[in-house]
Structure 1
Amino acid sequence: MTAQRTSGQPRSDASTTKAPPADTGHPLTDDAVVDALGADLRAAGYTTDGVTEFLGDDIHDALLRGVWWPASTATEDADRVPLATIIRLFLLGSDEPRSRVARAFPSAGVDALVDQGALERLDDGLLRARLDIRPHADDTHDFLVVADQDAAMRPGPLARDHVLGIGAASLSLARAVIREPARRALDIGTGCGIQALHLSSHCEEIVATDTNERALALARATARLNGMTWDLRAGSMFEPVAGERFDLIVSNPPFVVGTGSQDYIYRDSGVVGDALCEQLIRELPTHLNPGGTAQLLANWIIPEGADWRDRPRAWLEGTGLDAWVVQREAADPISYVSLWLSDAGEDEQTATRRGAEWLKWFADNGIAAIGMGSITVRAPEAGEDRRPDVVIEEITGAGEEITGPEAQAFLARRRYLRETSDAELLTRRLSVAPVMLEEHSLPGEDGWQLVGSAVRRPGGPAAVLGVDEVSRALLAGCRGQVPLGALIELLADFHGVDADALAEAALPVVREAIGRGILYEAT
């Protein structure tokens, strides 16, 4: 949910900047204009590949890093190329003459786009984008996403009903969602509709909700530009879907931990602390079909002297849900408040006042840090009667982000471990995944002294396992040819130890290796 842009030219010259006029209604509500706008954007080649090809890889990479001036130079000759004008309007925030804009939008027309709030006229006769409309792609699809411009593109504080565009958090959730076919999916707090766009590839019916009417209007425009239809509903949390169940629920909610004020709808829930995330978790069981999955981003309070895992564990108690809770970061109050203040575009005096009040609330409530991460849950299958399987862990390494395939594999491995007894496991032929052996040594009087070893599955979240001499040998022997019990007997004979005792010691290590995707049953 973080308001992070991938490109844009900061505006600091007040003499050429005009505050947007007050909205009299939501933008892009005329279907005919939206359709014509989409036709013009597609005709110009306004896709991720089209923009990259036009700018060149180096300039496009710079733009993704927020370095806008090479792209500005590359699009200066915009008179002859509609795509250049579109890039300047929506990715660079430039002011463009009417003649150029008219050539870029022959179907939609300048006047209609102004009337529909996509563009605005400036006092000097130039035109400027009022919305953020940008291409976005996954592995197989190209999309267009409609949102509001952030503080880097437009001066002054954000509007209270600001609709966030494509940010780091929304992309993180999109990458983490398990893309299994689903009949019904629910996107809670859809915003501009980025999660619903991705759900369209594997879900038959998509319901998307938001408390922000402007967000629903822009999500509707996003859906129509991409030839999709979603069931968009206004309301908070599960209120718009009371009594309904889904196979998949995703949410990037307004999870920011704070005093309960709602300065900005996209980030502030209006409830105190982290209560919104708690409520979301506790209400999931009544809206998930048997075997259904929910995936969401969340923030949680870490009180002074407390284990961070206590908070999400308490949320899950009594839900009956299997869960994988991953903390990606724990931010101290100053860093946390600074992050959110920087997004809002407020003047220094307002930001200072708000920050001081926010920090005082953290101090008064004994909050040492705020945890940030993801929660994946799965409802039990119909007829299942067992204790929930809950894993709560911290995974902070670069390159160890949660992905849909990894989340899906994690849940499958946990199920395998639940359903396979130790006696059964000893009869199974196991194989080791492609892993790297890491050894750690310290210098000593006799040279380098080995102090520890581990095997790591590259790219897997927390896919690392400490090993000793025996477990190293056991893993090396797991080639899918010999049952685990027979391997343990061979090792016991080699080391002169009791096979049953070795099996008792080895099985927890084997189970952990399976849980981390380091070992798997050969088929």
Structure 2
Amino acid sequence: MSPRPAPSADSRLLDALRADLDAARFTVGGVESVLGPLAAAALHREQDVPAVRATTAALAGPRPDAVAVLTHAFVLGRPVPRRLLDDALPGLGVGGAVRLGLAEAAGADADDEVRAVVDLRPYEAVDAAGDARWWLASDLGELQTGVRLAGDHVLGAGGASTTLAQVTMRTPVGRVLDVGTGCGVQALHAARHAGHVVATDISPRALAFAAFNVALNHAQPLADVPRAEAHVGERGAADVELREGSMLEPAAGELFDLVVSNPPFVITPHTGSPLPDYEYRDGGRSGDAVVRDLVRDVGSVLAPGGVAQLLGNWEHRRGEPWTERVGAWLDEAGLDGWVVQREVQDPAEYAETWIRDGGTTPEREPAAWAQAYGAWLDDFASRDVEAIGFGIVTLRRPDPAGPAGGRVTMRRLEEHTGSVRQPLGGHLAATLAAHDWLVGLGAAGTSSGTPDDAASLGALAAARLVVAADVAEERYLTPGAADPNVVLLRQGDGFGRAVHASTALAALTGACDGELTVGQIASAIAALFDVPAGDVAGELLPAVRGLVVDGFLAPSSWS
């Protein structure tokens, strides 16, 4: 465990730090400008040699830029002379940084070394609500310290954090629950579109970092951890309340409009490995039980119509398709569910990824690496695991006042490993809205539990639709041919889906401008091709329903 306490949330010192970081223009762009494109790209790959060379050269000048000093000290974890950090943080000073728990000083002389004891860096992301810019503190990583991470390590905003922030729907809501908040980044995102945010974590150290980050990036001070409140001020409108406890337990008996979670989903062996369990990633349960239990239980804290969005891993077991395994979780949850598998790794790849994640490498610790690797493979083999999936889970508690009258109508499990257009949050929200529109119309389709009969398709035929602005049509022809071999409808936003369209479906889609009903367009196409109108409608209407769900077409009333 870490011998150092987490940083303090002293409001007076944080005011000075915030002002200094603002004045220094300590931003993502500022850091990349100091490093240059080569070093910045290398640092994104967890290679710091070019970055250290760049900041060392900048610090050797007569008046080093403040961003170079802050990057060298807090991003790269390298010592700097006291005088340089005093200049870079003129309001806070080294003394204030030490009292906040950000740094330790070897002495009081101008040339004595000062070394950061936490990682403090600018953070930028674009979510469905727009641009987000903060500074985030977390524990120094293996790249900065050169040693394996402690079990209570508090992670900064990594790739999974950014993914969750970008896929989360940002519709204004009353109450948000952030399960497993870590350094607090999801709570900060939620505070921009919620009335109140509750953030939970089992780690007191993580909650202390979250308290620091919320206080640093908001105008008002925090109370003591583990139960703290922050008033957002000019950067948002929500209070952020921090609670200590495991998963949903600190929020038992309460209801929320949105639940977000980047839970400790890593599937970790609990016997035979020399590595510690890491609080930020290891849930302490066998296999994928952490994600399974969260999916099954999160409905207990969802208000009617409330949405839960989380990331997770699940096991692909021999003889059991992953869709059946995860689908059973959805059945037990009794919620609308949409699961998108984004990546699949075999057990060896998975073991390598997460052993390295904790700072253990075969070069530095060959015996520990081999022992941990073997423990991971043995653990997977004990459950006949052939692969591990990673993806996005969206759940919703049916609303009795909604179009489905409280019935579960969505059960969708799919794989999409290609590129996506982030942020996805707006697209996911639009997909749920399209699904509800079809449910209200009586045309949601058999995959959602609604009969696929003539009446439901007839309701869709009476609708007026428009083509989404991001949809393009692609035609592929054999040289010299008059007609295309393949017609694709391609989506530029969201998942970037491509749909193989018949000539008739392409014609119908192109004619959807909100003036004519789907049925009228289908009848015109039937007359053009001299085929029975019923045959054309039978072919096109189910396909149109799919185009509506996936965002290619939308009701004209939404325009």
Query: Please, what TM-score do these two structures have when normalized by structure 2?
Result: 0.84
Aligned length: 501
| Letter in structure 1 aligned against 2:165 | A
Task: Work out whether residues 78 and 85 of structure 1, in 8 Å CA contact, stay in contact via their aligned partners in 2.
Answer: no
1:7 matched to which residue of 2?
A: none
In structure 1, the residue matched to 2:293 is 279
Distance 1:78 1:47 in 2: 23
Q: Tell me the distance in 2 between the aligned counterparts of 1:466 and 1:414.
A: 21
**Deviation larger for 329-338 or 486-495:** 486-495
- Contact 2:2-2:150 at 8 Å conserved across structures: no
**Matching residue of 2:474:** 438
Deviations 1:409-446 (A, max 9, x none): 11111111211232222122222224233345689xx9
CA separation of 1:22 and 1:115: change in aligned 2, threshold 3 A: farther
8 A Cα contact 1:209 1:233, kept in partner: yes
Name which of 251, 273, 280 aligns with 2:261: 251
Residue in 1 that maps onto 2:86: 102
1:170-226 per-residue CA deviation (whole Å, 9 max, x = no partner) reads 000001111111111111000001111111111111111101111000110001111
Partner of 2:491: 457
Aligned-residue Cα RMSD (Å) equals: 2.6
Pairing 1:299-448 to 2, within 5 Å after superposition? 299-346=313-360, 347-383=365-401, 384-400=405-421, 403-421=424-442, 422-434=457-469, 435-439=471-475
Alignment partner, residue 533 of structure 2? 499
1:144 aligned onto 2:135: yes
What letter matches 1:89 in structure 2? A
**Worse-matched range after superposition: 263-272 or 412-421:** 412-421
Segment drifting more, 57-66 vs 385-394: 57-66
- Give secondary structure in 2 for the equivalent of 1:396: coil
Deviation at 1:125, TM superposition (A): 4.1
3-state SS of 1:258 partner? coil
Bigger mean CA deviation after superposition, 223-232 or 179-188:
223-232
Shift of 1:72: 4.2
The SS at the match of 1:480 is coil
Deviates more, 1:484-493 or 1:157-166: 484-493
SS state at 1:46 partner: coil
Give how far 1:403 is off.
1.0
Offset, 1:469 = 2.0
- Is 1:237 the counterpart of 2:224? The answer is no
Deviates more, 1:230-239 or 1:456-465: 456-465
Of 6, 11, 25, the match for 2:5: 25
2:71 equivalent to 1:87: yes
Cα deviation, 1:100-127, whole Å, max 9, x if unaligned, reads: 1222233333244335431134699422
1:161 and 2:184 matched: no
Structure 1 residues 64, 363: CA separation in 2 closer, same or farther (over 3 Å shift)? Answer: closer
Correspondence for 2:521: 487
**CA positional deviation for 1:130:** 1.2
Calculate percent identity across the aligned residue pairs: 37
Counterpart in the other structure of 2:183: 192
Could you tell me which of 510, 529, 549 is aligned with 1:476? Answer: 510
For 1:283 and 1:372, the matched residues in 2 are separated by: 20
Counterpart for residue 263 of structure 1: 277
Q: One-letter code of the match for 1:211? A: I
Amino acid at match of 1:326: V
Opposite residue 118 of structure 1, the aligned amino acid is: L
1:454-502 alpha-carbon deviations (Å, 9 max, x no partner): 2111133153212122222222222222211111112222222221232
Q: Answer yes or no: is the 8 Å Cα contact 1:456–1:465 preserved in 2.
A: yes
Unaligned 5+ segments in structure 1 are 1-20
1:353-410 CA distance string (max 9 Å, x none): 1111111111121001001001111221234232331111111112355611111111
CA separation in 1, counterparts of 2:249 and 2:95?
Answer: 39
Q: Secondary structure at the match of 1:264?
A: coil
- Structure 2 equivalent of residue 9 of structure 1: none
Structure 2 unpaired stretches of 5+: 221-229, 231-239, 443-456
CA contact (8 A) 1:493 1:499 kept: yes
CA 1:151–1:490: 2 relative to 1, 3 Å = same
Q: Deviations over 1:260-318 (max 9, x none)?
A: 46611111100001111111111111101111111110110111232221122111114
